[in-house]
Amino acid sequence: MPNSAEPVSPDQSITENDNQQEKTTVENSTEISEPVKDINKFDNDANVDKDETITVKKPTINVDTEKVEQGDETEKSKLEEIKKYIEDVAAKHPLGIAGIFHLFGNEIDGSAHIAGNVATDKLSAGNFGTIQDATSNLTTCDIHYIGSIDHLNQIDGENKLVIFGPDVEYKSYENGSSIQVKINGNWQKVGIPYNKTIRADQILDIQGELDKLSDKSDEWAKQTQTEGVIADFKEGK
C-alpha cells in the first residue's frame, strides 16, 4: 500500500457536528454496557470441571502493523498474542467473541461519541473508542472489527487495533498518521494511524454469533430461579 495520497477535496471530507446528541442505535445486536469484570475466570461446562479456573491473558501490547508487514518479528509476536486472545475469549467467554466488544451488531449507527470498542458489519458513526477518562475496559487494548463503512470520522484511544473486513479498501495517508478509506466510491480521510490497522483474512459472521447468543439466552431462561430471588416483571404504576 502507498505511504501517501493526494488530499481529498472538502466535499469528500467527513465532518462531525459536535452539538449532535442523537442516540446511538444498534440494529440486530447485543449491547454490552457492563463488560465482565473478571474475564480471567469462566465456567465452561463443555471443556472443564466447574472448579477449574481458565486464564485468558489480556493483551497489553501496542502493535505496529506496518512493521508486521515488513516482517518485524517482535511486532509479529505482539499481533499473534492479540489473535490468541481473541480465539481464547471466543471459545471461553459466556458471550463468545461478542464478549470482547462494547457494541456488537449487524449495523451500528450513531452521531454521538461511542465510548468503547465495536464490531459490526456496517458502521455509520462519528467518533468512537475508549478514551483516557474511561474507568474500566474489558481489555487494555481496544480491538475493533469493521466490515464496511458508510460514515466515520476517527477512532479514539492510544492503544488500539482496527481490523477491517476483507472488502474494505483503505490506504496510508499523511505519512501514515491517518488513512484514506473508499466510502461510497470516494476516498475519504479517517483519523486512524495506518500502523494501527489490519485487514481480516475472512469476514466475521456477526449474524451467526447473534444467533448463538439468542440460543444461549433461551437456554438460560429455562433455568430454575435462584432460591430467595424474587422476579417481578410487571410495569411500574
pLDDT in tens, 13-39: 333 344 444 444 444 544 433 333 333
- Which three three-digit cell numbers place residue 136? 474500566
Give the pLDDT of residue 131: 67
What does the pLDDT average to over 154-162?
Answer: 84
Q: Which helix (H) or strand (E) holds 210?
A: helix 206-221
Report the pLDDT value the prediction gives residue 29, as an integer from 0 to 100.
Answer: 44
For β-strands 160-164 and 186-190, DSSP reports them as unpaired
More confident residue, 92 or 50: 92
- Residue 34, classified by CB atoms within 10 Å of its CB into exposed (0-12), middle (13-18) or buried (19+), is exposed
pLDDT of residue 55: 53
Q: How far is CA 62 from CA 101, 126, 139, in A?
A: 18, 24, 12
With cut-offs at 50, 70 and 90, classify the pLDDT of residue 223. Answer: confident
Question: What is the tens place of the pLDDT at every residue in 53-73?
Answer: 445 666 666 889 999 999 999
Cα separation of the two ends of the chain: 61
pLDDT at 61: 67
Q: What share of the chain is helix, strand, coil (3-state, %, to 5)?
A: 20, 25, 55
Q: Where are the domains of the chain?
A: 10-221
- pLDDT value at position 189? 92
Q: State pTM to two decimals.
A: 0.70
What share of the chain has pLDDT > 70, as a percent?
Answer: 69
DSSP label at residue 114: B
- The whole-chain average pLDDT of the chain stands at 75
Q: How far is CA 237 from the centre of its chain?
A: 39
pLDDT for position 56:
61
